[in-house]
Each structure stands twice: as structure tokens, then as C-alpha cells.
């Protein structure tokens, strides 16, 4: 089969790695891909948002199967464009990707179908939102409705801060049109767990659990980032939590989407908080998490192409999803200064140490080839270094050892990815 991946980050590199080892894959394309994906696929410089060019390219190359991986193109209907052109596609249509693209939609869905989540109110009017804040207690959780590169959530400790937040989101439009509506939510406490699930619209198969570390600094300090590292499985995702979510979250959400005429095919990412009152949904995403994908996919036993095709074909009930009985830790190597400002264009040394290894990996997030063909840094998050181990503690030691194999000027990482697991 000829397969094409739309996207160009660490998540897409992890997907490309799994697709490339499938016996079903004869030729792999990526748009736009990156310097790491280029080792596995032919990369073509087309924007993930340019549906017309993407479809034309897929037709020209007679691509059999397309995987649309990032949130923005899914929300914009890029999967629809491929499907409407008669090309088999993995990834939800726009009308289902809304579960991520609109927080107000997903909150209303959860309320209507009794899916456990935080209490909330939605506002389209800043004055009404400000008046509502007066009736609530700190801390305040404010969420811009639309996609905001993962930065649209403000947790405010004082009323003053929360009022400023409403002004920033709704009046100053800090997140653009994503802030036309705001969700104000009950503050919850507890451990966070990410559970990514394959779905064909009827059947849903949860993958192994993972946990992200979103803050830039050690000890969960500093600004929120796209994710500084992950581990899988989460020891806090116990059999009891899993049973609760199977009964109250996963199937119920897919059935709710179907009942609303929004068949969800692809990956449903359930961001859960394990509160003292039980698991609650923090958010849904319509795609693999990044860097969650970088620890979950290397543990997948199945041929990923089989599973993804079953999602597209509606035959997921015939798949027995299996993961290795091991653990994985991913440490993100970033550019010092991320997520605020940082320099890029530095040569990355040591990548050859990862070639042909099957127990540790380097997935590229922000890299490119310079004019001389050398791989250089090209983003805030540069590379995800993932290692496997029999246990989380072992995987963590292996991952940190592997980070030493890579060097570039400006290299920055957290030193406590997965540290909580030592207590777990």
C-alpha cells in the first residue's frame, strides 16, 4: 500500500516509525514531515492546512491510505477533503473533530450524556462572565472555547486575576476567535492521566495509559508547554479507574457522538483527572497526544496499519489491541528558553547512535536539514528521546542515559520526567 501521513512533529514521527515497519506499507509519504521522518518517508513540502494540494498530491501518487494526525487540519476538515475524494483516511471528519475544537461543545456533550466532568458555565458575553465569577470561589478555571495551541486554559488564584483573564480572552482576543466563547469550570484536583483510544465510530479500544509533564521546569514549575516528557503506563491508572472509565467515559462518548450524527473515527484522546470523587474528563482531543504518542506507540504490539484501517473501515470489533508488558519514558530535548524565546539552527550531533535500535528511539519534533544537509534544531521542542524498560524506573534510567547520546548548543530538558512513578 501507499500510505501518506499529514503532519510533521514527534507524534507523526512515532506514527511513521510504526507504519514503516508494517509489511503492508510499500511506500510512505509525509506532508510536510521533518528531518527524522525523512529517514522513513518521502517528505513533500505541503502545508497540513492546504487540503486542495494535499488531495491533489495523494491522487497523483495514487495513495491508498492517508493518516491525518494533527488537530488543526482535522478541525478544518482536511480528513473530509480526502474522504470526499474517495481516499481511505484515518482521522475524524470536521463535525466529529469538534469534540476537541470547541470546549463548549464537549462540555455540553458530557452534560447531556452524563459523562463525568467538572461543573461549568459557558459565556459569549464578557460582562456576564465577569458577573458569574463574582459568585464563584477561587481558584477559577477559564477556557477559551476554540483551539489555542494548548494554551487556552487559565487557572487563576484570585478574582482579580480571573477577571483579567476574561478580558484577555474575550476582549483583547489573546487567542483570537478561540476566545469568542469562554467556559468557566469548577477547579478539580488530582493526578492526570491520558488515555488514547482507537475508534471506528461504534467500537472503541482504549490504548495503554500515559502521563504528560506540561510545565517547562523541574518540579512542575514554569510555563505550560506542548509537553516536556511522558511515561507509560501510568501506575495511577488502576484496574478500578479503568473499569470506571470503560463504564462511564469511553463507549459512552463514542455513542454520544454517534447519536449526535457525528461519527468519530480516529483517535479519541481522553484527558482524565483522578479526583477524590473519582475520574473526571478534563478534555477530549481528536488525535494522538504529543508526546504521549511517543511512549504509547512504541509499546503497541499490533500492526498499526491494521488498526488504523479497521478504524476507517468500521471493523475495529475484529481487532485485539495488545501492548507489550513493559514501560516507556520519553524525555523531550528542547531549546533553552522554550516556550518563550529561543535560538535555533544549531547542528544536532549523535543521531547515528539511535540507528537500528529497538529499545530506544529519537523522534524529531522541531528539526530540519540545513543547506549542507546537516540536521539542525528548528523549534522549541527539538527531539523526543524515548526508551523502553521492564519497569518505569528502568525505562526512565534508560531514557536519561540515551539523552546523553545527543548534543546540540542550547539543549534543555527536564530532569524529573516520570519521577512521580518512584513513589507510585
Q: What angle do CA 352, 418, 217 make, to 5 degrees?
A: 85
The count of residues in the chain is 424
Query: Is the distance from CB of 349 to CB of 362 less than 8 angstroms?
Result: no
Q: Among 18-26, 179-187, 197-205, 304-312, which window interacts with ligand AMP (CB under 6 A)?
A: 179-187
Cβ closer to ligand AMP: 140 or 361?
140
Cβ closer to ligand GLY: 105 or 346?
105
Which DSSP string do the residues of 239-283 spell out, in sequence order? HHHHHHHIIIIIHHHHHHHHHTT---EEEEEEEEEEETTEEEEEE
CA dist., res. 263 & res. 283, Å (int): 18
Q: Is 283 in the site for ligand AMP (CB under 6 A)?
A: yes
Which DSSP string do the residues of 55-81 spell out, in sequence order? HHHHHHTT-SEEEE-SHHHHHHTHHHH
Q: What is the nearest approach in angstroms of ligand GLY to the Cβ of residue 229?
A: 10
128 contacts which partner out of ligand GLY, ligand AMP, none, CB within 5 to 8 A by kind? Answer: none
CA dist., res. 101 & res. 386, Å (int): 29
Applying the rule CB under 6 A, the residues between 190 and 219 that interact with ligand AMP are 192
Q: Is 290 in the site for ligand GLY (CB under 6 A)?
A: yes
Q: What is the nearest approach in angstroms of ligand GLY to the Cβ of residue 62?
A: 32
Q: Is 151 in the site for ligand GLY (CB under 6 A)?
A: no
Q: Is 271 in the site for ligand AMP (CB under 6 A)?
A: yes
Query: Is the distance from CB of 15 to CB of 207 less than 8 angstroms?
Result: no
Q: Give how far Cα 75 sits from Cα of 15, 94, 101, 303, Å.
A: 20, 5, 6, 27
Please identify which residue in 146, 289, 339, 379 interacts with ligand GLY, judged by CB under 6 A. Answer: 289
227 contacts which partner out of ligand GLY, ligand AMP, none, CB within 5 to 8 A by kind? Answer: ligand GLY
Q: Is 217 in the site for ligand GLY (CB under 6 A)?
A: no
Q: Is 150 in the site for ligand GLY (CB under 6 A)?
A: yes
Give the residues lining the site for ligand GLY (CB under 6 A).
150, 212, 227, 285, 289-290, 292
Amino acid at each position: 500500500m501507499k500510505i501518506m501521513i499529514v503532519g510533521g512533529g514527534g507524534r507523526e514521527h512515532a506514527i511513521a516509525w510504526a507504519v514503516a515497519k508494517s509489511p503492508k506499507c510499500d511506500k510512505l509519504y509525509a506532508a510536510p514531515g521533518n528531518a527524522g521522518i525523512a529517514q522513513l518517508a518521502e517528505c513533500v513540502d505541503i502545508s497540513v492546512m492546504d487540503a486542495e494540494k494535499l488531495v491533489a498530491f495523494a491522487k497523483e501518487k495514487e495513495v491508498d491510505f492517508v493518516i491525518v494526525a494533527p488537530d488543526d487540519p482535522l478541525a478544518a476538515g482536511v480528513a473530509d477533503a480526502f474522504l470526499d475524494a474517495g481516499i481511505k483516511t484515518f482521522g475524524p471528519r470536521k463535525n466529529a473533530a469538534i469534540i476537541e475544537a470547541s470546549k463548549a461543545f464537549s462540555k455540553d456533550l458530557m452534560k447531556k450524556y452524563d459523562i463525568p466532568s467538572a461543573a461549568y458555565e459557558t459565556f459569549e458575553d464578557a460582562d456576564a462572565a465577569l458577573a458569574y465569577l463574582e459568585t464563584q470561589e477561587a481558584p477559577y478555571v477559564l477556557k477559551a472555547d476554540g483551539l489555542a495551541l494548548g494554551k487556552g486554559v487559565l487557572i487563576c488564584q484570585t478574582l482579580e486575576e480571573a477577571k483579567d483573564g476574561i478580558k484577555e480572552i474575550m476582549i483583547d482576543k489573546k487567542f483570537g476567535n478561540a476566545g469568542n466563547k469562554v467556559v468557566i469550570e469548577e477547579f478539580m484536583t488530582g493526578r492526570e492521566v491520558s488515555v488514547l483510544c482507537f475508534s471506528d465510530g461504534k467500537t472503541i479500544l482504549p490504548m495503554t495509559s500515559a502521563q504528560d509533564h506540561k510545565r517547562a521546569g523541574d518540579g512542575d514549575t514554569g510555563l505550560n508547554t506542548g509537553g516536556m516528557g511522558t511515561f507509560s503506563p501510568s501506575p495511577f491508572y488502576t484496574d478500578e479507574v479503568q473499569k470506571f472509565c470503560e463504564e462511564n467515559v469511553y463507549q459512552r462518548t463514542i455513542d454520544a457522538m454517534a447519536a449526535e450524527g457525528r461519527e468519530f473515527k480516529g483517535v479519541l484522546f481522553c484527558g482524565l483527572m483522578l479526583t477524590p470523587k473519582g475520574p473526571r474528563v478534563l478534555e477530549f482531543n481528536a488525535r494522538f497526544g504529543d508526546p504521549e504518542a511517543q511512549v504509547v506507540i512504541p509499546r503497541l504490539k499490533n500492526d498499526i496499519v491494521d488498526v488504523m484501517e479497521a478504524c476507517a473501515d468500521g471493523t475495529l470489533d475484529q481487532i485485539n489491541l495488545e501492548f507489550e508488558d513493559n514501560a516507556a519514558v520519553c524525555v523531550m530535548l528542547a531549546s533553552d528558553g522554550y516556550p518563550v524565546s529561543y535560538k535555533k539552527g544549531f547542528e544536532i550531533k549523535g543521531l547515528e547512535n539511535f540507528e537500528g535500535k529497538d529499545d530506544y528511539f529519537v523522534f524529531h519534533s522541531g528539526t530540519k536539514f540545513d543547506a549542507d544537509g546537516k540536521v539542525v534544531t528548528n523549534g522549541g521542542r527539538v527531539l523526543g528521546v524515548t526508551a523502553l524498560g521492564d519497569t518505569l524506573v528502568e525505562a526512565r534510567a534508560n531514557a536519561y542515559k540515551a539523552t546523553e547520546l545527543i548534543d546540540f548548543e542550547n539543549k534543555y530538558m527536564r530532569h524529573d520526567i516520570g519521577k512521580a512513578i518512584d513513589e507510585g
